[in-house]
Amino acid sequence: MNNELLSYIERDSIVHRLTGATKLICFLLWSSAVMFTYDTRFLLFILFASFVLFYMSKIKLKEISFVLGFILFFLLLNNFAIYLFAPQHGTVIYGTSHPITGSIGRYSITLEQLFYQLNITLKYFAVIPPALLFLVTTHPSEFAASLNRVGVSYRLAYSVSIALRYIPDIQRDFKTIARSKQSRGVDMSRNEKLGKRIKNAGSIIFPLIFSSLDRIETVSNTMDLRSFGKLKKRTWYGYKEFKTRDFISIFITFLFFVLMVMLMFINDGRFYNPFV
């Protein structure tokens, strides 16, 4: 099992066999479709498709559970903030008001507000699985090649690739330094109070920064010695040719986007209104 967060997880699945460019194009179309619409029917359909895609990738839920938990926390925080600062925004959008609580001023709970925040939650759940799958099923080198293929400068694409490679490296360094500190009596377990644990964890920051700077200098010197950036183009070791499955995947995702546009015309806007 891969213990690193948001790092490449190798599997033999149809999602892994797609090219990086295909996954990038599909993700952009998918996320755009989810971002533009508030049609609950479409979002439920995309949510179901997300679960199917996740199943096809053969990625286990426990391998990304920490990241999912982190995202869900911010989802709850976002929903709370929406209700706190705009508790009647749903009534403004849908043009009606069906309160389900007694009169408590502007914080009276309405069906319209709950429906609006349900759509916000569905948008998160519809786009998070594909986003995580894109990160954990695409090798950094292949991702850089896909960025370059869609028109991004290879210098910038390679910078993104290096950044993605650094994520698991930094995590490994953090664990190594943490174990070293613990062997010297610096306790960061649940036996210590929260404030003390945070203070002890802070002692890891400077060694982690110095080790990261050393790695950056090594990589920079290596790239300079190999004349990186001298030519306008470069070849990619992780480059893959498009195959039939890539074109089919892009076509299906494009149909999702077209369906979203059609629903916007049918609904006369971005919102599906069941209250009229």
User: Quick check: 94 and 273 in contact, CB under 8 A?
Assistant: yes
Evaluate whether residue 144 is within a structural domain. no
Q: How far apart are CA 212 and CA 55, in angstroms?
A: 36
Q: What percent of the chain has pLDDT over 70?
A: 86
Evaluate whether residue 146 is within a structural domain. no
Q: What percent of the chain has pLDDT over 90?
A: 16
pLDDT in tens, 149-168: 777 777 777 777 777 777 77
User: Quick check: 90 and 108 in contact, CB under 8 A?
Assistant: no
Are residues 52 and 124 located together in one domain of the fold? yes
Q: Is the pLDDT of residue 226 over 60?
A: yes
**144-148, 229-233, 253-257: least confidently modelled range:** 229-233
Are residues 9 and 111 located together in one domain of the fold? yes
The 10 Å CB-count burial string (b at 16+, else e) for 112-129 is: bbebbbebebbbbbbbbb
Q: How far apart are CA 211 and CA 260, in angstroms?
A: 48
Residues 6+ apart with CB under 8 A from 112: 90, 91, 93, 94, 96, 97, 98, 275
Residues in the chain: 276
Q: Read off the pLDDT band of 188 (50, 70, 90).
A: low
pLDDT in tens, 62-99: 878 778 888 888 889 988 998 888 888 888 888 888 88
Evaluate whether residue 37 is within a structural domain. yes
The tally of domains found in the chain comes to 2
Best-predicted range by mean pLDDT (44-53, 183-192, 226-235): 44-53
Are residues 172 and 230 located together in one domain of the fold? yes
User: Quick check: 203 and 215 in contact, CB under 8 A?
Assistant: no
Are residues 25 and 126 located together in one domain of the fold? yes
Q: How far apart are CA 200 and CA 144, in angstroms?
A: 37
**67-76, 112-121, 180-189, 249-258: least confidently modelled range:** 180-189
Nearest to 116 by CA among 88, 85, 74, 77: 88
Are residues 159 and 233 located together in one domain of the fold? yes
User: Quick check: 40 and 119 in contact, CB under 8 A?
Assistant: yes
Are residues 72 and 48 located together in one domain of the fold? yes
Are residues 69 and 85 located together in one domain of the fold? yes
Evaluate whether residue 259 is within a structural domain. yes
What number is the average pLDDT over the span 119-126?
A: 90
pLDDT in tens, 237-276: 667 778 899 899 999 999 999 999 999 998 888 888 888 7
Evaluate whether residue 187 is within a structural domain. yes
Are residues 13 and 127 located together in one domain of the fold? yes
Are residues 268 and 135 located together in one domain of the fold? yes
Q: How is the chain split among helix, strand and coil, in percent rounded to 5?
A: 70, 0, 30
Evaluate whether residue 71 is within a structural domain. yes
Q: Residue 192 has what pLDDT?
A: 65
pLDDT in tens, 36-48: 999 999 999 999 9
Are residues 232 and 253 located together in one domain of the fold? no
Q: Is the pLDDT of residue 1 over 60?
A: no
Are residues 258 and 184 located together in one domain of the fold? no
Evaluate whether residue 147 is within a structural domain. no
What number is the average pLDDT over the span 3-14?
A: 74
Task: Give the chain's mean pLDDT.
Answer: 81
Are residues 121 and 220 located together in one domain of the fold? no
Q: Which two tokens stand for residue 192?
A: 């210590």
Q: Residue 66 has what pLDDT?
A: 76
pTM score, two decimals? 0.75
Range of the domain at 20: 1-139+241-276
**24-33, 116-125, 126-135, 229-238: least confidently modelled range:** 229-238
Q: When comparing pLDDT for 76 and 177, which is higher?
A: 76
